[in-house]
Amino acid sequence: MLKHQNNITLKEVAKLAGVSPSAVSRTFTEGASVSSKTRKRVQDAARELNYLPNFLASSLITKRTKLIALISDNYSNPIFLEVFDLFTKTLQERGFRPLLYNYSHNADIDDTISMLRQYNVDAVIVASSVITETFVKRLQQMDCPIVHAFSHHDNDSDVNSVSADNVQGGRLAAKALLAKKYRDILFLGGPEHASSTISRLKGFTEILQANNVSLKYTAFCQHYSYDSGKTSMQEFLQTHSVNDIDAVFCGDDLICMGAIDAVTQHGYNVPDDIGFIGFNDINIGQWGKFKLTTIHQPIREITLNAVDIILSSLEQPTQPITQTRLFPCRLITRDTL
Protein backbone atom coordinates (compact mmCIF):
# COMPACT_ATOMS: atom_id res chain seq x y z
CA MET A 1 0.00 0.00 0.00
CA LEU A 2 1.25 3.48 -0.85
CA LYS A 3 2.17 5.84 1.91
CA HIS A 4 0.04 8.91 2.40
CA GLN A 5 1.41 11.65 0.16
CA ASN A 6 2.38 13.78 3.18
CA ASN A 7 4.78 11.02 4.32
CA ILE A 8 6.56 10.70 0.97
CA THR A 9 9.81 12.63 0.87
CA LEU A 10 11.63 14.28 -1.99
CA LYS A 11 14.54 11.85 -1.45
CA GLU A 12 12.22 8.86 -1.96
CA VAL A 13 11.04 10.30 -5.28
CA ALA A 14 14.66 10.90 -6.29
CA LYS A 15 15.62 7.33 -5.41
CA LEU A 16 12.76 5.80 -7.42
CA ALA A 17 13.44 8.10 -10.38
CA GLY A 18 17.18 7.45 -10.24
CA VAL A 19 18.05 11.14 -10.04
CA SER A 20 19.43 13.52 -7.45
CA PRO A 21 17.17 15.25 -4.91
CA SER A 22 18.10 18.58 -6.50
CA ALA A 23 16.73 17.34 -9.84
CA VAL A 24 13.39 16.60 -8.15
CA SER A 25 13.42 20.04 -6.58
CA ARG A 26 14.09 21.70 -9.95
CA THR A 27 11.30 19.69 -11.57
CA PHE A 28 8.76 21.20 -9.19
CA THR A 29 10.26 24.70 -9.20
CA GLU A 30 8.70 27.01 -11.74
CA GLY A 31 11.25 28.29 -14.25
CA ALA A 32 14.07 25.99 -13.07
CA SER A 33 16.21 24.22 -15.66
CA VAL A 34 15.68 20.48 -16.03
CA SER A 35 15.84 18.20 -19.07
CA SER A 36 12.64 16.76 -20.49
CA LYS A 37 13.92 13.23 -19.85
CA THR A 38 14.62 13.95 -16.19
CA ARG A 39 11.32 15.79 -15.77
CA LYS A 40 9.38 12.77 -17.09
CA ARG A 41 11.22 10.33 -14.80
CA VAL A 42 10.53 12.53 -11.77
CA GLN A 43 6.88 13.05 -12.66
CA ASP A 44 6.37 9.31 -13.23
CA ALA A 45 7.96 8.52 -9.86
CA ALA A 46 5.89 11.21 -8.12
CA ARG A 47 2.67 9.77 -9.54
CA GLU A 48 3.64 6.25 -8.52
CA LEU A 49 4.37 7.37 -4.96
CA ASN A 50 1.38 9.73 -4.81
CA TYR A 51 3.80 12.55 -4.03
CA LEU A 52 2.94 16.23 -4.07
CA PRO A 53 5.57 18.93 -3.52
CA ASN A 54 5.56 20.97 -0.32
CA PHE A 55 4.99 24.51 -1.52
CA LEU A 56 5.86 26.01 1.86
CA ALA A 57 9.25 24.30 1.72
CA SER A 58 9.88 25.27 -1.90
CA SER A 59 9.07 28.90 -1.11
CA LEU A 60 12.19 28.99 1.06
CA ILE A 61 14.20 28.28 -2.08
CA THR A 62 12.27 30.34 -4.63
CA LYS A 63 11.44 33.25 -2.26
CA ARG A 64 7.93 33.09 -3.72
CA THR A 65 5.00 31.92 -1.60
CA LYS A 66 2.33 32.37 -4.30
CA LEU A 67 0.20 33.98 -1.59
CA ILE A 68 -1.82 37.00 -2.74
CA ALA A 69 -3.30 39.06 0.09
CA LEU A 70 -6.86 40.30 -0.45
CA ILE A 71 -7.58 43.19 1.91
CA SER A 72 -11.01 44.71 2.47
CA ASP A 73 -12.96 46.42 5.22
CA ASN A 74 -16.50 45.73 4.07
CA TYR A 75 -17.13 42.00 4.35
CA SER A 76 -20.74 42.57 5.44
CA ASN A 77 -21.67 44.11 2.08
CA PRO A 78 -23.05 41.36 -0.21
CA ILE A 79 -21.34 42.92 -3.21
CA PHE A 80 -18.08 41.57 -1.85
CA LEU A 81 -19.39 38.00 -1.87
CA GLU A 82 -19.24 38.26 -5.65
CA VAL A 83 -15.92 40.09 -5.52
CA PHE A 84 -14.19 37.52 -3.32
CA ASP A 85 -15.70 34.62 -5.23
CA LEU A 86 -14.13 35.97 -8.43
CA PHE A 87 -10.83 36.86 -6.76
CA THR A 88 -10.33 33.47 -5.15
CA LYS A 89 -11.44 31.41 -8.14
CA THR A 90 -9.27 33.35 -10.59
CA LEU A 91 -6.18 33.26 -8.38
CA GLN A 92 -6.57 29.53 -7.69
CA GLU A 93 -7.02 28.78 -11.39
CA ARG A 94 -3.72 30.58 -12.03
CA GLY A 95 -1.88 28.58 -9.38
CA PHE A 96 -1.92 31.21 -6.61
CA ARG A 97 -3.44 31.12 -3.14
CA PRO A 98 -5.54 33.95 -1.65
CA LEU A 99 -4.95 35.20 1.88
CA LEU A 100 -8.01 37.14 3.08
CA TYR A 101 -7.49 39.94 5.57
CA ASN A 102 -10.24 41.98 7.23
CA TYR A 103 -8.98 45.53 7.64
CA SER A 104 -11.73 46.87 9.89
CA HIS A 105 -12.12 50.51 10.87
CA ASN A 106 -10.13 49.99 14.07
CA ALA A 107 -7.32 47.88 12.55
CA ASP A 108 -3.76 48.97 13.21
CA ILE A 109 -1.68 49.71 10.11
CA ASP A 110 1.56 48.47 11.68
CA ASP A 111 -0.06 45.20 12.76
CA THR A 112 -1.45 44.67 9.26
CA ILE A 113 1.90 45.32 7.57
CA SER A 114 3.65 43.00 10.06
CA MET A 115 1.18 40.19 9.39
CA LEU A 116 1.63 40.48 5.62
CA ARG A 117 5.40 40.46 6.01
CA GLN A 118 5.26 37.40 8.25
CA TYR A 119 3.39 35.49 5.55
CA ASN A 120 5.77 36.88 2.92
CA VAL A 121 2.93 37.54 0.46
CA ASP A 122 3.92 37.94 -3.17
CA ALA A 123 1.41 40.72 -3.85
CA VAL A 124 -1.48 42.67 -2.34
CA ILE A 125 -4.93 43.52 -3.70
CA VAL A 126 -6.88 46.14 -1.74
CA ALA A 127 -10.61 45.89 -2.48
CA SER A 128 -12.16 49.03 -1.02
CA SER A 129 -12.72 52.71 -1.75
CA VAL A 130 -12.66 53.55 1.96
CA ILE A 131 -9.13 52.40 2.82
CA THR A 132 -6.93 55.48 2.72
CA GLU A 133 -4.10 56.24 0.34
CA THR A 134 -1.88 56.56 3.42
CA PHE A 135 -2.42 52.90 4.13
CA VAL A 136 -1.83 51.98 0.47
CA LYS A 137 1.42 53.96 0.52
CA ARG A 138 2.54 51.98 3.55
CA LEU A 139 1.83 48.78 1.67
CA GLN A 140 4.09 49.97 -1.12
CA GLN A 141 7.00 49.95 1.30
CA MET A 142 6.73 46.15 1.32
CA ASP A 143 8.29 46.23 -2.15
CA CYS A 144 5.74 43.92 -3.74
CA PRO A 145 3.08 44.54 -6.44
CA ILE A 146 -0.05 46.30 -5.20
CA VAL A 147 -3.33 47.11 -6.90
CA HIS A 148 -6.14 49.14 -5.36
CA ALA A 149 -9.46 47.83 -6.68
CA PHE A 150 -12.73 49.80 -6.48
CA SER A 151 -10.78 53.02 -5.94
CA HIS A 152 -9.51 55.52 -8.48
CA HIS A 153 -6.19 57.30 -7.91
CA ASP A 154 -4.94 60.46 -9.59
CA ASN A 155 -3.03 60.12 -12.84
CA ASP A 156 0.22 61.14 -11.15
CA SER A 157 -0.15 58.43 -8.48
CA ASP A 158 2.23 55.49 -8.52
CA VAL A 159 -0.48 53.13 -7.25
CA ASN A 160 -2.10 50.65 -9.63
CA SER A 161 -5.86 51.12 -9.52
CA VAL A 162 -8.90 49.50 -11.11
CA SER A 163 -12.35 50.98 -10.66
CA ALA A 164 -15.73 51.77 -12.08
CA ASP A 165 -15.89 55.22 -13.60
CA ASN A 166 -17.76 56.60 -10.61
CA VAL A 167 -17.92 60.12 -12.03
CA GLN A 168 -19.66 58.76 -15.12
CA GLY A 169 -21.93 56.67 -12.89
CA GLY A 170 -22.94 59.79 -10.96
CA ARG A 171 -23.73 61.52 -14.25
CA LEU A 172 -25.98 58.62 -15.27
CA ALA A 173 -27.90 58.91 -12.00
CA ALA A 174 -28.43 62.65 -12.47
CA LYS A 175 -29.63 62.19 -16.05
CA ALA A 176 -32.07 59.48 -14.95
CA LEU A 177 -33.59 61.71 -12.26
CA LEU A 178 -33.82 64.76 -14.51
CA ALA A 179 -35.47 62.69 -17.23
CA LYS A 180 -38.20 61.83 -14.70
CA LYS A 181 -38.61 65.55 -13.85
CA TYR A 182 -37.21 65.24 -10.32
CA ARG A 183 -35.78 68.53 -9.07
CA ASP A 184 -35.71 68.53 -5.23
CA ILE A 185 -33.02 65.94 -4.71
CA LEU A 186 -31.13 64.54 -1.72
CA PHE A 187 -27.73 62.90 -2.24
CA LEU A 188 -27.26 60.23 0.43
CA GLY A 189 -23.69 59.01 0.02
CA GLY A 190 -21.40 56.53 1.68
CA PRO A 191 -18.50 57.61 3.92
CA GLU A 192 -17.75 61.24 3.11
CA HIS A 193 -14.03 60.76 2.42
CA ALA A 194 -14.33 57.56 0.38
CA SER A 195 -13.05 58.04 -3.16
CA SER A 196 -16.17 56.46 -4.64
CA THR A 197 -18.47 58.82 -2.71
CA ILE A 198 -16.48 61.86 -3.80
CA SER A 199 -16.46 60.79 -7.47
CA ARG A 200 -20.15 59.84 -7.62
CA LEU A 201 -21.16 63.15 -6.06
CA LYS A 202 -18.89 65.03 -8.47
CA GLY A 203 -20.45 63.50 -11.58
CA PHE A 204 -23.94 63.89 -10.15
CA THR A 205 -23.61 67.61 -9.39
CA GLU A 206 -21.94 68.28 -12.76
CA ILE A 207 -25.05 67.21 -14.64
CA LEU A 208 -27.45 68.95 -12.27
CA GLN A 209 -25.55 72.24 -12.60
CA ALA A 210 -25.37 71.87 -16.38
CA ASN A 211 -29.19 71.73 -16.30
CA ASN A 212 -29.53 74.68 -13.89
CA VAL A 213 -30.64 72.43 -11.03
CA SER A 214 -29.11 72.77 -7.59
CA LEU A 215 -28.61 69.77 -5.33
CA LYS A 216 -30.96 70.55 -2.47
CA TYR A 217 -29.49 68.37 0.30
CA THR A 218 -26.37 66.30 0.89
CA ALA A 219 -25.85 63.70 3.62
CA PHE A 220 -23.34 60.93 4.26
CA CYS A 221 -23.44 57.53 5.94
CA GLN A 222 -20.77 56.11 8.21
CA HIS A 223 -20.72 52.82 6.32
CA TYR A 224 -21.92 51.28 3.09
CA SER A 225 -24.64 49.38 4.90
CA TYR A 226 -28.40 48.98 5.25
CA ASP A 227 -28.36 50.19 8.88
CA SER A 228 -26.38 53.32 7.99
CA GLY A 229 -28.79 54.14 5.18
CA LYS A 230 -31.82 53.69 7.38
CA THR A 231 -30.33 55.67 10.28
CA SER A 232 -29.23 58.57 8.06
CA MET A 233 -32.63 58.78 6.40
CA GLN A 234 -34.40 58.71 9.77
CA GLU A 235 -32.17 61.53 10.97
CA PHE A 236 -33.04 63.53 7.86
CA LEU A 237 -36.75 63.00 8.50
CA GLN A 238 -36.40 64.33 12.04
CA THR A 239 -35.76 67.83 10.66
CA HIS A 240 -37.34 67.58 7.21
CA SER A 241 -40.42 66.21 5.53
CA VAL A 242 -40.43 63.98 2.50
CA ASN A 243 -42.36 66.88 0.98
CA ASP A 244 -39.03 68.76 0.99
CA ILE A 245 -37.58 66.33 -1.55
CA ASP A 246 -38.92 64.32 -4.45
CA ALA A 247 -35.97 61.97 -5.05
CA VAL A 248 -32.87 60.50 -3.42
CA PHE A 249 -29.66 59.36 -5.10
CA CYS A 250 -27.99 56.86 -2.79
CA GLY A 251 -24.31 56.09 -3.24
CA ASP A 252 -24.86 52.38 -2.59
CA ASP A 253 -27.71 49.87 -2.95
CA LEU A 254 -27.66 48.81 0.72
CA ILE A 255 -27.85 52.45 1.78
CA CYS A 256 -30.73 52.85 -0.66
CA MET A 257 -32.62 49.87 0.76
CA GLY A 258 -32.24 51.17 4.31
CA ALA A 259 -33.39 54.65 3.26
CA ILE A 260 -36.44 53.24 1.46
CA ASP A 261 -37.50 51.33 4.57
CA ALA A 262 -37.10 54.51 6.63
CA VAL A 263 -39.45 56.54 4.43
CA THR A 264 -42.01 53.74 4.04
CA GLN A 265 -42.13 53.34 7.83
CA HIS A 266 -43.08 57.03 7.93
CA GLY A 267 -46.04 56.25 5.70
CA TYR A 268 -44.64 57.40 2.36
CA ASN A 269 -44.78 55.45 -0.88
CA VAL A 270 -41.93 54.74 -3.33
CA PRO A 271 -41.89 55.98 -6.03
CA ASP A 272 -45.24 57.80 -5.81
CA ASP A 273 -44.16 60.14 -3.00
CA ILE A 274 -40.40 59.93 -3.49
CA GLY A 275 -38.12 58.28 -6.04
CA PHE A 276 -34.91 56.40 -5.29
CA ILE A 277 -31.87 55.39 -7.32
CA GLY A 278 -29.02 53.29 -5.92
CA PHE A 279 -25.54 52.29 -7.00
CA ASN A 280 -23.86 48.86 -7.54
CA ASP A 281 -26.75 46.65 -8.77
CA ILE A 282 -26.42 43.98 -6.09
CA ASN A 283 -28.49 40.83 -6.53
CA ILE A 284 -30.75 41.37 -3.51
CA GLY A 285 -31.66 44.81 -4.85
CA GLN A 286 -33.57 43.04 -7.61
CA TRP A 287 -35.71 41.07 -5.18
CA GLY A 288 -39.06 41.51 -3.45
CA LYS A 289 -40.34 44.91 -2.46
CA PHE A 290 -37.26 46.88 -3.54
CA LYS A 291 -36.58 46.21 -7.24
CA LEU A 292 -34.12 49.08 -7.22
CA THR A 293 -33.43 51.37 -10.09
CA THR A 294 -29.67 51.59 -9.82
CA ILE A 295 -26.33 52.20 -11.47
CA HIS A 296 -24.63 48.95 -12.42
CA GLN A 297 -20.98 48.72 -11.35
CA PRO A 298 -18.92 46.31 -13.53
CA ILE A 299 -17.78 44.04 -10.69
CA ARG A 300 -16.47 41.23 -12.88
CA GLU A 301 -14.35 43.48 -15.10
CA ILE A 302 -12.84 45.29 -12.11
CA THR A 303 -12.01 42.09 -10.27
CA LEU A 304 -10.48 40.24 -13.23
CA ASN A 305 -8.43 43.25 -14.27
CA ALA A 306 -7.09 43.70 -10.75
CA VAL A 307 -5.88 40.09 -10.79
CA ASP A 308 -4.45 40.58 -14.30
CA ILE A 309 -2.38 43.57 -13.20
CA ILE A 310 -1.06 41.75 -10.14
CA LEU A 311 -0.06 38.58 -11.97
CA SER A 312 1.46 40.51 -14.87
CA SER A 313 3.55 42.45 -12.35
CA LEU A 314 4.80 39.18 -10.86
CA GLU A 315 5.57 37.67 -14.26
CA GLN A 316 7.35 40.82 -15.49
CA PRO A 317 8.92 42.37 -12.38
CA THR A 318 11.49 44.35 -14.39
CA GLN A 319 8.77 46.36 -16.12
CA PRO A 320 6.99 48.26 -13.33
CA ILE A 321 4.34 50.29 -15.12
CA THR A 322 1.65 51.92 -12.99
CA GLN A 323 -1.76 51.33 -14.50
CA THR A 324 -5.15 52.94 -14.01
CA ARG A 325 -8.12 51.16 -15.53
CA LEU A 326 -11.63 52.64 -15.44
CA PHE A 327 -14.76 50.83 -16.57
CA PRO A 328 -18.07 52.46 -17.51
CA CYS A 329 -21.25 52.03 -15.49
CA ARG A 330 -24.76 51.67 -16.88
CA LEU A 331 -28.27 52.52 -15.74
CA ILE A 332 -30.58 49.68 -14.64
CA THR A 333 -34.22 50.79 -14.58
CA ARG A 334 -36.64 49.02 -12.25
CA ASP A 335 -39.43 50.17 -9.91
CA THR A 336 -38.08 52.86 -7.58
CA LEU A 337 -38.18 55.80 -10.01
CA separation, residue 96 to residues 58, 90, 140, 302 (Å) = 14, 9, 20, 19
Quick one: which of 251, 276, 282 has its CA closest to 264? 276
The residue type found at 41 is R
Given the DSSP bridges, would you call strands 146-149 and 123-127 parallel, antiparallel or unpaired? parallel
What is the pLDDT confidence band of residue 326, given thresholds at 50, 70 and 90? very high
Assign 1 a pLDDT band (cuts: 50, 70, 90): very low
pLDDT greater than 90 at residue 337: yes
| Mean pLDDT in residue range 281-290 | 87
pLDDT digits (tens, 9 = 90+) for 102-139: 887 667 788 888 888 888 899 999 988 777 777 777 88
Three-state DSSP string of 141-205 = CCCCCEEEECCCCCCCCCCEEEEECHHHHHHHHHHHHHHCCCCCEEEEECCCCCHHHHHHHHHHH
Residue 131 CB contacts under 8 Å (≥ 6 apart), including other chains: 71, 72, 73, 103, 148, 151
Contacts (Cβ under 8 Å, ≥6 apart) of 302: 149, 150, 162, 163, 164, 327
pLDDT at res. 190: 94
For residue 168, the model assigns a pLDDT of 98
Query: What one-letter code names the amino acid at 65?
Result: T
| pLDDT at residue 110 in the model | 83
- pLDDT at position 5, please? 47
pLDDT tens string 13-28: 888 889 888 787 777 7
Q: Which residue has the higher pLDDT, 117 or 235?
A: 235
Report whether pLDDT(51) > 80.
Answer: no
243 versus 60: the higher-pLDDT residue is 243
Average pLDDT over residues 84-93: 90
Mean pLDDT of the chain: 86
300, 137 Cβ separation under 8 angstroms:
no
pLDDT at 47 over 80: yes
* Strand 97-102 relative to strand 294-296, pairing: unpaired
Lowest mean pLDDT among 2-6, 36-40, 194-198, 330-334: 2-6
pTM for the whole structure: 0.80
Q: pLDDT tens for residues 135-190?
A: 777 887 887 888 999 887 665 567 889 999 999 999 999 999 999 999 999 999 99
Q: Who wins on pLDDT, 3 or 89?
A: 89
* Structure confidence at residue 62 (pLDDT): 52
| Predicted confidence (pLDDT) per residue in 193-228, tens digit | 888 999 999 999 999 999 999 999 999 999 899 999
